[in-house]
Amino acid sequence: MGLPPAALQARFARAFARGRRAGLALVCAGLWACAVPAPHPSDRSPPMVGKAPIGSAFVARPLPAADGLVLTALERPARAAPARYRVIVVPGSGCAGMAAIAERYFAGLLHAEVLVLHKPWVDAQASTPADRCSDDFVQADALVAWRAHAIAALRADARDRAGARPLPQLLLGISEGAELLPALAPEIPHLAGLVVIGSSGLDPRDALALQAAQWGASASLQALERAQAGPLPDTTVHEGRSVRYWRELWQWPLARPLLDAPWPLLQVWGAQDRLVPQAAYQRFRGLAASRTAPYCARIFSSADHGLQRSGHDDVQKLWAWLEQWARAPQDGLCGVGLRLQGQ
């Protein structure tokens, strides 16, 4: 069997599930584990003050976030010499971390140093399913806050690396994580390109509308529209998220910032993705044809949202392409060596 997706969360699946049953089935099908309850804040270990091993080549690295908080990143050196590049990863939504699967998930990044960011309110070692996230997580989780925390962490990372041998860096967003890329990219020295997995590239509200149309859930979308536009307090929980979360999401820009970004953009998705409609991917692909900076797309015909298919892990194929690029970076992330353009 191939690797299960790296805790990719189905944000929109929950929003449109009748009685939440259908959506939760999709969520659990795409998660690494569906049996670990979220830890209560009082059960958490004391904050880390230094790097700590997590039973693999990765270490847990605390980084300062905004508002005096600390987030836990996972960090790993290159698996093979020489180190040719560095990949900074922004995972998808939900309250699961990547520690349990990071070693295998990123195995194919042989010559890359890897840094994985987590939200300050995510336990990097938890495999909590999306329907069991704690109340504290639901209230804390919001895109504006996550953006501020990630920017603070990246600035600290850049300071820590000042004076070290510079490596070209790639910024990679998984699903919801792609929504932060335009805001985070300017914080990364020697940025060579953006990589998006399982994200349409459209503004979340537009992608949500296409998903509602695909699922015959227009009434649910309209109810969500009214809830976020109405007088409900930000703390009200609606469809598993705070109203604050939905309000920020409704105004969140992604397509135009990605189209205007001056860095190469590689977008990868599965043709059997049940969470993001193919129409959403294709719409952005059409828009990206007018992009000034290079754009390339790669579609796995049998893969799902997490780039998995029966007996195969297509994520490792993506890493193989990045390894190929790293051997000849002068060709660019969308260079002819990758043979990705138009495929």
β-bridge partners, 268: 197, 298
Of all helices (H) and strands (E), which one includes residue 215? helix 204-215
Which candidate, 261, 305, 285, 297, places its Cα nearest to that of 4?
A: 305
What distance in Å separates the CA atoms of residue 72 and residue 92, rounded to the nearest whole number? Answer: 15
The pLDDT assigned to 56 comes to: 82
Q: What are phi and psi of 86, to 5 degrees?
A: -135, 140
pLDDT tens readout for residues 299-322? 999 999 999 999 899 999 999 999
Q: Checking phi first, is residue 342 left (phi over 0); if not, alpha (psi -120 to 50) or beta?
A: left
pLDDT tens readout for residues 56-80? 899 999 999 999 999 999 999 999 9
For residue 99, the SS3 value is: coil
Which candidate, 181, 183, 218, 212, places its Cα nearest to that of 280?
A: 212
DSSP 247-269: HHHHT---HHHHHH-SS-EEEEE
Of 42-46, 136-140, 212-216, least confident by mean pLDDT is 42-46
The pLDDT assigned to 51 comes to: 79
pLDDT tens readout for residues 64-121? 999 999 999 999 999 999 999 999 999 999 999 999 999 999 999 999 999 999 999 9
Place of tokens 């792609």: 178
The pLDDT assigned to 312 comes to: 92
Of all helices (H) and strands (E), which one includes residue 320? helix 315-327
The pLDDT assigned to 59 comes to: 97
Q: In whole angstroms, how far apart are CA 261 and each of 141, 294, 322?
A: 26, 10, 20
What distance in Å separates the CA atoms of residue 316 and residue 79, rounded to the nearest whole number? Answer: 14
The torsion angle over the Cα atoms of residues 118, 105, 163 and 188, rounded to 10 degrees, is -60
Name the E strands within 146-217: 169-174, 191-197
Q: What are phi and psi of 49, to 5 degrees?
A: -110, -5
Q: Give the CA count within 13 Å in the CB-facing half-sphere of 61.
A: 18
In percent, the amount of the chain with pLDDT more than 90 equals 78
Place of tokens 């600290």: 156
Which candidate, 84, 297, 304, places its Cα nearest to that of 196?
A: 297
For residue 281, the SS3 value is: helix
The pLDDT assigned to 52 comes to: 77
Length of the chain, in residues: 343
pTM, entire model: 0.87
β-bridge partners, 153: none
Indicate the angle between helix axes 218-229 and 204-215, nearest 10 degrees: 150
The pLDDT assigned to 331 comes to: 86
For residue 29, the SS3 value is: helix
